[in-house]
Structure 1
């Protein structure tokens, strides 16, 4: 007995896809930056130091005087000598007035008036220690500084972009196919 059989053969469809990807190129140019630093303004004022040396006492110790001081000193010494001489003469006159008191003032006055005191020798031309006086006023320095802030200028550059769109193509690589066959087979 023959039995009919159905044979079905199918072939699936195949889709073919071709794609080209999109491309994006980006570049970022560096920003522009300028920095300027103005110089600071500096002003300085100086008051000089002052050294004072006073050696007048040293000159006086060496008996090297100015004319004015020499005249004043000798005038004072003359005045003192005149006062001492007047006092001596008054004292001697008083002694002579009392000659009746059994005193003998004439020989004593002769010795006193006839001999002067001995001068003392010594090194008097050397100035005394610390005869030169010094004083010092230190210098003063005044510094004024005016600072200026830096000048900063910056600009941003936009990014550069280049875009190429992609493409996509689809096509049928294999068409679908169904084959139906009826076959008689014997059993």
Structure 2
């Protein structure tokens, strides 16, 4: 027996989606720098040092005198000797003038005038320890430094930014369809 049949065949619609991913690039170039350092200004002032050495006393201690000093020394010694001789003669004359006083002034004066005084013995440093006089003035140094600040010029560079946005394309891959078929169907 033949039964009537209805056959249906359907196909669903399919959507196609195509996408390209987005791209982004960022490039940052270095900043442009210019640095200049001016030299510092330095001023140095010095006063020279002074060294004074006075050795006149050392030369005098060694009996190496300048001619004028030697003449002055001998003149002073002669004057002192003459004064001492005059004083001794005045004293001895006074003693002889008072001969009536007890004592023997002639004999004592003869002994006094006939012998020199005894020399003193001892250690004597020639020249003496403080004979050389030294005077020293150190030099004075004045340093004036003026620093100069660096000259810095910085120029920033903007980043290079490229952007390709993401794209999506949507389309129909297959459209929907419905097929209907009839078999063993009789119309009267």
Q: C-alpha separation between the residues in 2 aligned to 1:62 and 1:111? A: 35
Q: Secondary structure at the match of 1:99?
A: coil
Task: Note the C-alpha offset of 1:60.
Answer: 1.5
Task: Note the C-alpha offset of 1:32.
Answer: 0.6
Aligned residue in 1 for 2:131: 131
Q: C-alpha separation between the residues in 2 aligned to 1:166 and 1:109? A: 146
For structure 2, the residue ranges without an aligned partner over 5 or more in a row are none
Task: Note the C-alpha offset of 1:158.
Answer: 1.8
Q: Retained in 2: the 8 A contact 1:63–1:125?
A: no
Q: Retained in 2: the 8 A contact 1:27–1:161?
A: yes
Aligned residues: 185
Q: C-alpha separation between the residues in 1 aligned to 2:111 and 2:150? A: 100
| Deviations 1:73-132, CA, capped at 9 Å, x for gaps | 223222221221111111111122123446543343344344444667888783123322
| Deviations 1:136-159, CA, capped at 9 Å, x for gaps | 333332221111111111111122
Instruction: Please state if 1:109 is matched with 2:109.
Output: yes
TM-score w.r.t. the length of structure 1 is 0.77
Task: Note the C-alpha offset of 1:165.
Answer: 5.6
Q: Where in structure 2 are the equivalents of 1:8-19 lying within 5 Å?
A: 8-19=8-19
Q: 1:13 to 1:94 in 2, by over 3 A?
A: same
Q: C-alpha separation between the residues in 1 aligned to 2:18 and 2:125? A: 126
Q: Where in structure 2 are the equivalents of 1:6-45 lying within 5 Å?
A: 6-45=6-45
Q: Where in structure 2 are the equivalents of 1:43-122 lying within 5 Å?
A: 43-101=43-101, 103-117=103-117
Q: Secondary structure at the match of 1:77?
A: helix
Aligned residue in 2 for 1:161: 161
Q: C-alpha separation between the residues in 2 aligned to 1:106 and 1:165? A: 149
Q: Secondary structure at the match of 2:173?
A: strand
Q: C-alpha separation between the residues in 2 aligned to 1:133 and 1:77? A: 26
Aligned residue in 1 for 2:147: 147
Q: Retained in 2: the 8 A contact 1:51–1:136?
A: yes
